[in-house]
Amino acid sequence: MKRRCVVLMIFLSLFFAVPVHGETAGGEPFGEISAESALLIESSTGKVIFEKEADVPKSPASVTKIMTLLLIFEDLSDGKISLLDQVTVSNHAASMGGSQVFLEEGEIQTVETLIKCIAVSSANDGCVAMAEYISGSEEAFVDRMNEKAKALGMKNTHFVNCCGLDAQGHLSTARDIGIMSRELTEKYPDIFQYSSIWMDEFVHKTSKGESSFGLSNTNKLIKTYQGCNGLKTGSTSKAKFCLSATATRKDISLIAVVMGCPDSKQRSEDVRKMLDYGFANVIVYEDEDPLESWNVVEISGGERESVSIHSGEKFHYTLLKNEEGKQITKNVKILQEIYAPIKKDEVIGEIDYLLDGEVIGTIPIYSSEEVKEKTYIFSLKSLWNQVRLDT
């Protein structure tokens, strides 16, 4: 068993080497940008392509709403709320200033309508209404936002409210915004059904009657940049102009974050430069069939002599086109001795991916089926069946 494992590792290293190209993050390869801080990442892997003062805490303005949306979609996924749930707007929610859709106290809207108001028109009143519906109060919801930020590794973020209005201590960074943007879009891609809407409308429903209200996306790149499908703008006098933008072309998805831009025009121009650079230079290496044709391994002490295996996941890695002389190789490693009993989806090995000899990622190898331990009774039955076949 050990010999077979070693031979397979050498075979894969020799025959699955893939030439790639790339460049380390840093500098401004696309010219200067006005943003005080910025980050560009490839979404599927989270690899940083470019950064500028990405860990300096700043006011995030309405980009805060990405975390609010993340928690909404988390509860939708867990079945705690549904898109058709009816939400009653409180006086506190209706009193929100800044960007709003003018919800009235006592007005009833569905969760889906409020998601649309938040994602498209950056509705502060919609944010607070959802926060209160989910957690009972905005304060309790903000506590959950901060807990989620900590769990995601957002080291320099603290939320004071759920909508992004300027407040003492309400801070985040370009890197942390990239983290929560990636979490939302990779885990809950349904967000794009809302963040990519250019114009829409909803109906106010109050005791005074019904009236239509138009929604217009605050992210103008949705209309003007090919592949842009989100995500969230923000602007206040303190934060200046901020944006976390998402865009996809072919198999490449990017997230570009800017904070502290002087105006909305420069904000869009900065993001456009970053995305253009990313799409022109990013390569995503994908290994969709890590085990190739190898699908069984030998075992000892079982009712069968082998067990089927699978990798359970694909491998992705991001590089840039102008990196030269790099090679990705993979080493498949199986446990030297595998004894029954074996449970289904038990880890029995792993695949290491290496870039010029350094490990850049590892995925597990699982058993595809259960194999019971060979018992004395089973051995007797097998022997008896063999005798019957021979006679």
Which position among 37, 62, 195, 268 bears the catalytic label? 62
User: How many Å apart are CA 129 and CA 89, to the nearest integer?
Assistant: 6
Question: What are the helix (H) ranges across 27-156?
Answer: 65-77, 91-94, 111-121, 124-135, 138-151
Which SS3 state, helix, strand or coil, does residue 66 take?
helix
Q: Which residue has the tokens 């490839």?
A: 42
For residue 34, indicate whether it is catalytic: no
Which of left, alpha, beta for 211 (phi over 0: left; psi -120 to 50: alpha)? beta
Q: Report which of 133, 58, 125, 64 is spatially closest to residue 92, judged by C-alpha positions.
A: 125
Which position among 47, 52, 58, 65 bears the catalytic label? 65
For residue 311, indicate whether it is catalytic: no
User: How many Å apart are CA 367 and CA 334, to the nearest integer?
Assistant: 11
For residue 62, indicate whether it is catalytic: yes
Q: Which residue has the tokens 């009193």?
A: 95
Residue 48 tokens, joined:
């940083």
The beta strand positions in 43-114, using DSSP E, are 48-52, 86-88, 108-110
- Burial letters 347-363, b for 16+ CB under 10 A, else e: ebbebbbbbeeeebbeb
Which position among 122, 135, 311, 367 bears the catalytic label? 122
Could you give the residue numbers annotated as active site? 62, 65, 122
